[in-house]
Amino acid sequence: MFPKVFPPPCAPEPLRPAGRSPRRLILAALLGLVACAAPHQAAEPLDLAAQQAQWQALQPDSPALRESLRARGLETAVWPLPRWDLPALSALALLRQPALAEARARQAALEAESPGRLPRPELALGLEAHSERGEASRSPWSLAIALEALPLGRSGQARRAAEAEAGQARVEAARFELAHSVWSVHRALRERHADWRAARAAQALQAERQALAEARHAALAKQLAQGALDAPAVQAAERAQAAARAATDQARQAEARARLALGAAAGLTPEALAGLTLDERPPAAPPLDPGRLQAAALLHRLDLRAALARHAAAEARQRAEWARRWPEIQFAPGLAWDQGDRLWTLGLRVIGPPAEGNAPALARARAEREAAAAACLRVQAEALVELARARADLAAAESARAAAGAAEAAAAAQRARVEAGLAAGHQDRLALLDAQALDLDARSRRLAADHALDQARAALEDVLQLPLDRLPAVLP
């Protein structure tokens, strides 16, 4: 019957010589079928060139990236994107970062190892040869097939269910660890984006400083030519002009390095980064409610949810150890062919509890569950402390930003008054240059305050492990 339903590709044509038992031929065919049907896994060596080509194929204009951005709610009607802001770069990084691909592969391997609720079926085959044949038998062989270890009763089923729940909880904890890796990629990209914007703004300010130094040198040189000024003042202006040019070159190099670091955080090569237009606008700052911030810190942190999953796994292991305190009954039916006689077997196996009543293992499982519960409390306590510190730092940064903005406004007003005085003939060119220098200093301090405020908001996001603009979506 087997050769008709499952013809083995490498089994020979069955032979039926005279005097041979048909049962013996069936047994030989069955063994040949098992040998020929043995699974074979082809070797899969790593092709670094092909892997690199596949990674390089996912460019910023690829359709796969467009679908990913659309799934995240980003506008992709115009493609490729004319400008890349932080959310778009974050979606690109999640697709192109090799570290995330490695973390996802480890997660898939862990999920594949997770035990199920049903036991793995085990089929036992037995073959015996008798030195003496029975009177009615024409074969010295006995063949037995038995199905092993089918659990009966609530004890074995409860143990297996608890072990399966523990495995699923471990998988859930690993998922949150993978989410933490995703958050790490987003955090690195956010920091590099803030650094690039600060370097970009500093470069623009330094270009204005250089122009101002050149204008001051030209004005002093003109006064020197008219005999209204001494040479040392012009020489000091020349040195300031040279220093400004050197600072401009340094600011340009710093901006280039910050841009390359941003591209690396997004998983982009320098060649791919060169073709993108980056958006310099900072992320929007949503209003922050203290109650929602505390709820997010206490309920939605990724490390807290991973700790909760580990607690669920420890609790399930405790239930599994509790179930082992009772005898477990296993059912093992079988069928045997003994020299022409067919035998049905209904085997029962009873696995008793450990001699010491499983008390040590149960105590250890209970201690692990209590340790997991304490870890959850520790994470919440640390989150509250970190949240209080981050909120205080954010309030200080907002205050410093307001003071810097007020100083910038005052410097701009002073510059406007000097410009009006120059137009009316009450001020000279050097007075205007001094006012412009003070205005640049005030703008520089305001940009530094902006960067510090960005860092304070980023620190608050790191406490919550959640973007601030997503708080309304995840909290009731």
Instruction: Give residue 205's pLDDT.
Output: 95
In a domain, 287, yes or no: yes
In a domain, 9, yes or no: no
- Give me the tens of pLDDT residue by residue for the chain, a chain 476 residues long: 333 333 444 444 444 444 445 455 455 555 555 555 556 556 666 666 665 565 555 577 778 778 878 887 788 888 888 988 888 888 888 887 777 777 777 777 777 766 655 556 666 666 666 666 655 556 677 767 766 666 665 666 777 778 788 888 888 888 888 888 889 999 999 999 999 999 999 999 999 999 999 999 898 888 888 877 788 888 898 999 999 999 999 999 999 999 999 999 988 888 888 888 898 888 778 888 888 899 889 888 999 999 999 999 999 888 888 877 777 777 677 777 666 667 777 776 767 666 666 778 888 889 999 999 999 999 999 999 999 999 999 999 999 999 999 999 999 999 999 999 988 888 888 899 999 999 999 999 999 999 999 999 999 999 999 888 877 665 55
List the domain range (segments joined by +) for residue 309.
84-105+113-122+143-474
Q: Quote the tokens at residue 18.
A: 């005279």
Instruction: Give residue 252's pLDDT.
Output: 96
Instruction: Give residue 4's pLDDT.
Output: 39
Judge whether 9 and 38 are in contact, CB under 8 Å: no
329: enclosing H helix or E strand: strand 328-338
132: enclosing H helix or E strand: none
Q: Using CA of residue 181, residue 186, residue 189, residue 194, what is the dihedral sign?
A: negative
Instruction: Give residue 170's pLDDT.
Output: 84
Judge whether 445 and 407 are in contact, CB under 8 Å: yes
Q: Quote the tokens at residue 275.
A: 């073709």
Angle (CA) 372-376-377 rounded to 5° is 115
Q: Using CA of residue 322, residue 325, residue 327, residue 333, what is the dihedral sign?
A: positive
The pTM score is: 0.73
Instruction: Give residue 326's pLDDT.
Output: 73
CATH of the domain at 195: 1.20.1600.10
Q: Cα–Cα distances in Å, from 114 out to 72, 165, 331, 368, 372? A: 30, 9, 24, 20, 20
Q: Quote the tokens at residue 403.
A: 């003071």
Q: Cα–Cα distances in Å, from 464 out to 289, 382, 397? A: 13, 11, 18
Count of domains forming the chain = 1
In a domain, 418, yes or no: yes
In a domain, 286, yes or no: yes
In a domain, 75, yes or no: no
Instruction: Give residue 211's pLDDT.
Output: 94
In a domain, 289, yes or no: yes
In a domain, 47, yes or no: no
Rounded Cα distance between 164 and 166, Å, is: 5
Beta-sheet pairing, 341-351 with 328-338 = antiparallel
> What is the C-alpha radius of gyration for the chain, rounded to an integer number of angstroms?
38
In a domain, 320, yes or no: yes
* Residue 376 CB partners (closer than 8 Å, separation 6+): 304, 307, 308, 311
Own/partner contacts of 287-291, CB < 8 Å, gap of 24 or more, are 288/460, 288/468, 288/471, 289/471, 290/391
